[in-house]
Each structure stands twice: as C-alpha cells, then as structure tokens.
C-alpha cells in the first residue's frame, strides 16, 4: 500500500476509534497456513510434522497399518443461535499421496468437520474417521480422497472423491480421472471445497496446478444446517491397511462467511489465534455527536505518528522488492552462462499444454513430460516441479548442481524456465526410459536387458558415482539412487538423473544431519536411524540397484502365493550363506551370462549393502573391482546385525516427527 493511501486509511481509522462502539459480524473466521507448526494444531495417532509439512500416516513395514489425524486447535463457529444462521465455508489445501510400492496402495485421506477435537478412527478403509467397533460413534461431515476400492463401503473405484455425513457410505462420489487426476500419483494436488448455505450446495475442485478449475469434480445438493453445530473443529485424517501409502498436507487455508451483523457491546477483538481474523463492519457515524476538540487533539497527535509509520512501511517494502529483483537478476546471470533459458510458451507447445498423454515419468519433486520442438525437430524431457512451498528451493538445488556437472553417465541438462509460477527443467530425452521399466516389463515384451547391457549399467553407474563423490570440486551426495532414477540412452548406457534430493558438501567435512529423504528399500540402516546422508549411504543404494540388475527382483516385493514381503538383500544373502548365490541370477536371462561375472556382481552388491557402513567399499574401489583392477571384497556368510544408540539432540519438530526408541537392535530380517 502506498504511503499516501495508507495515511488516508489510518486517519479514517482514527476517526472510527473515537466514534461509538461498532457493529461486528458473528465471527467470520479465516486462517491461512502456508506451512505448519505445533502451536496451532493437534496431532493424533501416527500423524507428525516435518519441515513445515504435515504427515498423516507413517511409512511402516508391510503389512503394518497406520492412521493419523490433524485438527486445527481453535473451534470454529458454524451456527449463530441469535440469528439462526448457518455459516458457509471454503477451504483450499495441497496434498500428496504416494507409495514406494505401486502394487500396495490405500486407503486415502479426508478433510472433515467434527464437533469433537479428539476424532481418531481405525486404519484401513475407515480412513482414520470411524472406529471399526463403533461405526456410529464419531459425528462428522467429510470429503474423502479414496485410493482403494472397498466394497464394504460401496466404493465405485480406487481413485474417487466422495462426500460423507457420519458414514463412510458416501452420499455422492466422482472419479478423479474425470479431471485427469491420479490421487496416488505422488504429484502435488490442490483441492478446493466450497459450501454455500444459501444455495444448499457443496462443490469439490481438484487440480495439479494452483489455478482453480471452472468446473467442479463433485457437486452435491445438500443442506448442512442440521449437521453443522454451533462450534466445530476442522482437520484431516488418513489411513493405510497393510500398505506403505504416505499422505502429506503441504498447506491449508480456511474461511467461514455468511453471518449477518448483530449489535455487540464489545470492541474490536481477535479470535484466539493471531492467524484468525474477525471482520468488522464500519457504520456511518452521526456527525452531530462528534466532539470537535477531541477530534482535533486526536488528529494532532495521531497524524504525524501515522505518517512516520506509513513512510517506514513504504521504505521497508521498497527495500525488499529491490533485494528480490537484485537476487533474481544475479541468479539469471549465473544460469545464463550455462544452460539455455526456455520460454514458457515454447515448453507448453512442445508438451501439448503439459497433457497427461505426454507424461513419461515422475521424479522426486515433479512430473516429466516428453517434448517435441517442431522448429528444431528435436525431442527433450521436461520436468515440471510440483506446486508446493518447497518447489523453488528444490528447483534451484537441482539446477545449481546439474548445471556445473559433466559426465557421460549423467543426464545432460539442456535448459530451464521460471515463468507463470512454474519451475521447469529441460533434459536430453532418453529413448529407453528408466531402468526399472525395462527390468520389470511384462514377459514376452522386446528389449529385455541382456547380460552385457546389465553389466554395462553397473559399470556406468559406478563410474558416475565415483565422479560425484571424489572428482567434483564439491562432493555431491545424490541420496536417491534407485532404478527409477537411472535412465537408458539409445545404446543402453546408464544415465543418472533426478538431483532434487542431492546435497553439495565440501570434501573431508562431516555432512549435516537431516531428516530422511529417499525411497524405502534403498535406504541405508544408519540413514533411516539418524537421517545423516554420506557417500556410504549412496554406496548402499548402489548395492541394492546392482542386486536388482542381477536378480531382476524389486528391493521389497511380495512372495508369490503368500502375503509375506521379501527383502532382496536378505534373500540374496540367504542364498550366499548356503553357497548357492548363483541361484539368485535372473531366470529370464536363461543362463546367458558369464557365471564369474554374475558371481562377482552379486557379491559386490552384498558388500555395498552391508548394514555396517564402515565395511562398505568406496565407489572408486567398486569401479576398480568391476574393471578387474582390484581384488573382490570378502563377504561374510551371514548378514551382520547392528545396534544403534540414540545420542543425537532433537529439535521440537524432530520430536514430533520421529518418536524413536533408543538402543534399537536391527536384526538381519529388519535391515
């Protein structure tokens, strides 16, 4: 606001302060939480807070189940008995639902309103809303985002949105695919829920972007007057049932409206939390009741003070804008020296408006599209970062790292774009896609990776990790080495990509302890325990990857014909203990491999995936072994076990997000 306008407003406010007590609306409440903290939320069950993001369920080992609830601390008024009016409301929030095992998903999350601030239901299809033994106990109005078809509750599909009142048998549902939304894609999804009491209509909108669609996904004709009590609590719940589906809430805003003004003897006040506002109504005052002397005195004192405040605010805002402009200009100057800057229009045309048919994969922090540039006749891959408050940070991290790296086994960055609130990276297109797609394609399909290709992948990946760990000016820890992040070019050469989780650090310095990031099945035990990423955590992930390459099995998968989950490292180590490690080779190869090379690769995978990080080789040593320049490492017959002891200081957010027990012994079956 300009100083002149601000001064006029403040002078008008001073006139208002000397007039009669005002009328106020009956607490139309509004809050906006771009990130979260423990001061304004109640966390129940398995919910947790990590880096300003809410987690509703935890990544427990299959077949464990999880349920969690998060409730806004302050009760909100939805019914005014003086005027007999029920409030309308509107809410907007962004969420992600993801799973490391696509075959093991469910059950979803919900946004709810409840008269109870201790709402916590059962896991599974009950979505953390309803107690399985007391189905009618919890009273609620909810919108569910369901990722599993539960016929017990008459679910239409495993990707639907439903409107519920005190029952999980939805009053009305809609398939999210109607708006090309996959709830469990791992992408950031923004939801809008609007209820207008005068129209007796509730609408739900969904989008991958921050722009609200014109057409709702779900529209329900409903009068909620009989269900919205005088005060209610608002929040989220989610659950899993024998799966590792993760439910995250990234930001949240909420408001009520529609109360008519009533006379109040109280002066203007705030409602409990500083983020909640009460909207005042300023009446036209009677000029005959003004006291000229009091008004003149008030203006004489308040006028100069208001002018000084307005001038200071103007200077502060101008300084911030100048700094922001200078930072952006500096950033562009640095980047322009390297990769090319694309325009948003170019990338939108090349991806057909980021159409879902052009999606070729999902990275750690965004969706990847295939792009055809008609003018140059070239093909590229465009990574579109998710719409979240952390998106820009991760974008700059990836750009700053990749732009200065050069290696034949890295995905080459062509350019970038920052326009219209979008964060976009342009890479070389890899015709054979990711390694996991070729490893786990349907039987009978062409392009099965032969032994020569697989051995070449192991060598190429070892080479690029040696470069990142030892040959860069600054050491790079990737933190998310997995088959989904290894791409194959036209000659089946491995190209490592997705640096959204990577961290730069000076050589010979201890890495900073951070909260765990990455993909289950590839995470080293010490990283799971302490959240400390080192080059040895990358070595562990590399070991899991080359075991996948040799065995053609996922890191964690369900045993055929049973519900038992099998850990790949455990399985190979078990065969090694019986002297039958060669039996771990992928049967689809039909024995078409060199047995000594296969044995070496399997044993190298076990040595890299050793639970004891001190026993793991460096990536340089791994490359030397694969190149026959060094002797293989001796691998113990039985998988070692480890004992951890918690001795690290924890912050408040760490305590909320990680309730870890001390002196935990990890057996071979747990690692």
pLDDT (0 to 100) of residue 501: 54
* Per-position DSSP letters for 141-185, written without gaps between them: EEEEEE-S--GGGT---SSEEEEEESSSS-SEEEEGGGGT--TTS
Q: How far apart are the first and last CA of the chain?
A: 58
pLDDT digits (tens, 9 = 90+) for 74-83: 889 998 888 8
Average pLDDT over residues 448-475: 89
Tokens describing residue 344: 């948003």
For residue 503, pLDDT over 60 is answered with no
pLDDT (0 to 100) of residue 327: 46
Tokens describing residue 347: 């990338």
- For residues 102 and 144, the model is more confident at 144
Tokens describing residue 413: 């960055």
Lowest mean pLDDT, pick from 562-576, 611-625, 646-660: 646-660
Do 263 and 143 meet the contact criterion of CB atoms below 8 Å apart? no
- 96-110, 264-278, 321-335, 602-616: range with highest mean pLDDT: 602-616
Print burial letters for 507-517: b (CB count within 10 Å at least 16), e (below 16). eeeeeeeeebb
pLDDT digits (tens, 9 = 90+) for 262-274: 444 443 333 334 3
pLDDT (0 to 100) of residue 320: 62
Average pLDDT over residues 30-45: 84
pLDDT (0 to 100) of residue 194: 96
**Predicted confidence band of residue 562 (pLDDT cuts 50, 70, 90):** confident
User: Cα–Cα distance between 660 and 492 in angstroms, integer?
Assistant: 43
Per the prediction, the chain carries an average pLDDT of 78
**Predicted confidence band of residue 520 (pLDDT cuts 50, 70, 90):** confident
Lowest mean pLDDT, pick from 220-229, 269-278, 396-405: 269-278
pLDDT (0 to 100) of residue 544: 96
- Catalytic site includes residue 32: no
User: Catalytic pick from 80, 107, 155, 480?
Assistant: 480
pLDDT (0 to 100) of residue 68: 87
For residue 302, pLDDT over 90 is answered with no
- The pTM (predicted TM-score) of the whole model is 0.50
Domains contained in the chain, CATH given: 21-262 (2.60.120.200), 340-428 (3.30.200.20), 449-640 (1.10.510.10)
Residues tagged in the binding site annotation for ATP: 383
Beta-carbon contacts of 662 under 8 Å, excluding residues fewer than 6 positions away, are 645, 646
For residue 59, pLDDT over 80 is answered with no
Lowest mean pLDDT, pick from 120-124, 246-250, 399-403: 399-403
pLDDT digits (tens, 9 = 90+) for 327-374: 445 444 444 445 788 999 999 999 999 998 898 877 656 788 999 998
Q: pLDDT over 90 for what percent of the chain?
A: 35
For residue 227, pLDDT over 80 is answered with yes
- 52-56, 159-163, 167-171, 652-656: range with highest mean pLDDT: 159-163
Average pLDDT over residues 99-120: 81
User: Cα–Cα distance between 482 and 497 in angstroms, integer?
Assistant: 10
Residues tagged in the binding site annotation: 383
pLDDT (0 to 100) of residue 237: 93
Tokens describing residue 574: 């078990």
Residue at token pair 């969420």: 95
CA dihedral for 27, 30, 36, 42, sign (positive or negative): positive
- For residues 279 and 339, the model is more confident at 339
């Amino acid at each position: 606001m300009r100083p002149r306008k601000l001064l006029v407003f403040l002078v008008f406010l001073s006139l208002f302060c000397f007039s009669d007590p005002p009328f106020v609306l009956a607490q139309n409440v509004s809050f906006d939480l771009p990130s979260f903290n423990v001061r304004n939320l109640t966390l129940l069950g398995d919910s947790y807070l990590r880096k300003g993001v809410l987690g509703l369920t935890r990544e427990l080992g299959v077949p464990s189940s999880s349920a969690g609830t998060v409730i806004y601390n302050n009760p909100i008024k939805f019914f005014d008995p003086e005027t007999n009016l029920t409030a309308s409301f509107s809410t907007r929030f962004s969420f992600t639902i993801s799973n490391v095992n696509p075959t093991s998903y469910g059950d979803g999350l919900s946004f709810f309103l409840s008269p109870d601030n201790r709402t916590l239901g059962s896991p599974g299809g009950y979505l953390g809303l309803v107690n399985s033994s007391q189905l009618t106990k919890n009273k609620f109005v909810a919108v569910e985002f369901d990722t599993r078809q539960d016929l017990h509750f008459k679910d239409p599909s495993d990707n639907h949105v439903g409107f519920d009142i005190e029952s999980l048998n939805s009053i009305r549902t809609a398939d999210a695919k109607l708006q090309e939304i996959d709830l469990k894609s791992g992408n950031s999804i923004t939801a809008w829920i609007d209820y207008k009491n005068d129209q007796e209509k509730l609408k739900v909108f969904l989008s991958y972007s921050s722009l609200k669609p014109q057409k709702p996904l779900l529209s329900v004709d409903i009068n909620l007057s009989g269900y919205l009590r005088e005060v209610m609590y608002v929040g989220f719940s989610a659950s899993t049932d024998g799966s590792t589906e993760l439910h995250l809430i990234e930001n949240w805003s909420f408001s009520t409206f529609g109360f008519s003004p009533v006379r109040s003897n109280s002066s203007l006040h705030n409602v409990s939390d500083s983020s909640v506002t009460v909207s005042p109504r300023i009446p036209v005052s009677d000029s005959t009741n003004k006291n000229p002397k009091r008004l003149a005195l008030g203006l004489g004192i308040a006028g100069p003070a208001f002018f000084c405040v307005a001038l200071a605010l103007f200077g502060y805002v101008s300084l911030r804008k100048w700094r922001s402009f200078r930072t952006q200009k500096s950033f562009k100057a640095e980047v322009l020296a390297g990769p090319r800057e694309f325009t948003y229009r170019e990338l939108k045309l090349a991806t057909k408006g980021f159409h879902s048919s052009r999606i070729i994969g999902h990275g750690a922090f965004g969706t990847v599209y295939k792009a055809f540039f008609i003018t140059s006749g070239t093909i590229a891959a465009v990574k579109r970062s998710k719409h979240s408050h952390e998106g820009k940070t991760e974008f700059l991290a990836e750009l700053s790292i990749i732009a200065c790296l050069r290696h034949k086994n890295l995905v080459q960055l062509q350019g970038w774009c920052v326009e219209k609130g979008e964060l976009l990276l342009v890479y070389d297109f890899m015709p054979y896609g990711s390694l996991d797609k070729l490893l786990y394609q349907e039987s009978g399909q062409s392009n099965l990776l032969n032994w020569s290709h697989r051995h070449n992948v192991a060598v190429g990946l070892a080479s690029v990790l040696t470069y990142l760990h030892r040959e860069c000016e600054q050491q790079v820890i990737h933190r998310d080495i997995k088959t989904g992040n290894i791409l194959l070019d036209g000659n089946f050469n491995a190209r490592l990509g997705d640096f959204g989780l990577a961290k730069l650090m000076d050589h010979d310095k201890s890495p900073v302890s951070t909260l765990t990031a990455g993909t289950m099945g590839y995470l080293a035990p010490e990283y799971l325990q302490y959240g400390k990423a080192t080059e040895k955590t990358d070595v562990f992930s590399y070991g899991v990857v080359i075991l996948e390459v040799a065995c053609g099995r996922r890191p964690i998968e369900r045993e055929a014909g049973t519900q038992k989950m099998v850990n790949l490292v455990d399985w190979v180590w078990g065969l090694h203990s019986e002297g039958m490690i060669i039996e771990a080779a992928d049967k689809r190869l039909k024995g078409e491999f060199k047995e000594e090379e296969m044995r070496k690769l399997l044993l190298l995978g076990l040595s890299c995936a050793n639970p004891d990080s001190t026993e793991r080789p460096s990536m340089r040593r791994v490359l030397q072994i694969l190149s026959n320049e060094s002797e293989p490492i001796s691998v113990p017959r039985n998988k070692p076990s480890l004992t951890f002891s918690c001795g690290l200081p924890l912050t408040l957010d760490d305590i909320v997000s990680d309730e870890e027990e001390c002196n935990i012994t990890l057996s071979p079956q747990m690692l």
